[in-house]
Amino acid sequence: MKSLYGVYGASGCGRGVMPLLRAERGKGESRLVFIDDAPQADAANGHAIWTFARFMDEPAATRAVVLAIANPRVRETLDQRCAEAEVALIGTTAANVVMMDDVEVGPGAVLSPFVTLTSNIRIGRCFHANLYSYVEHDCLIGDYVTFAPGVRCNGNVTIGDHAYVGSGAIIRQGVSVGVGATIGMGAVVTKDVPAGATVIGNPARIMEKK
């Protein structure tokens, strides 16, 4: 019987993750499908799109899921769904990712092409580092954190759970980013970001709610 792998999320993120998973797990008897709660089609890029129930019903020798949705809160909810269903959570790492010394990354991480994690770094569950992002030395990153493409996270930065860092943002050495914070695209973060805040611009400032 085959091994069954699901990429949860059949939209933009998922279609970027599927080729990474296929390179790692697509050989032999394995079958790779998308899982989506609101499927817009039967298949994408040659892979079927199933509901989670369909994925769980399919006979398989082993079954595992990669969460491929950029929204940190959605990833947490789906991580819990997978745990309740007792289906394994796995990550996927592009072949050209660079990881240096003493890097610990929690389960479920998606590390896209050209990502670099340098040395002495701790990262929690279900981290997403999209294309060309880097994490420099001694960073501490929580659970369900998302880096959009091209994030430059310099040394000794601390990032709380559920933070979302927009494309091309630069985080200065030593800064702390609070739980659930959002950093806008291209922001230059020179000082600490409070929990739940959204910051934008250069230098990044808190975006007040109107």
Enumerate the active-site residues. Answer: 137
Report the residue from 4, 17, 21, 70 that binds ligand UDP according to the rule CB under 6 A. 70
Report the residue from 4, 7, 13, 60 that binds ligand UDP according to the rule CB under 6 A. 13
Report the residue from 4, 32, 69, 135 that binds ligand UDP according to the rule CB under 6 A. 69
What does the DSSP assignment read for 183-206? E-TT-EE-S-B-TT-EEETTTTEE
Judged by CB, which is closer to ligand UDP: 1, or 38?
38
The whole-angstrom separation of Cα 192 and Cα 194 is: 6
What does the DSSP assignment read for 110-179? EE-TT-EE-SSEEE-TT-EE-TT-EE-TT-EE-SS-EE-TT-EE-TT-EE-TT-EE-TT-EE-TT-EE-T
Q: How far apart are the first and last CA of the chain?
A: 56
Per-residue x/- track, 147-186, ligand UDP (CB under 6 A)? ----------------------------------------
CB of 68 to ligand UDP, least distance (A): 7
Report the residue from 3, 11, 120, 158 that binds ligand UDP according to the rule CB under 6 A. 11
Binding site for ligand UDP (CB under 6 A): 9-14, 36-38, 69-70, 74
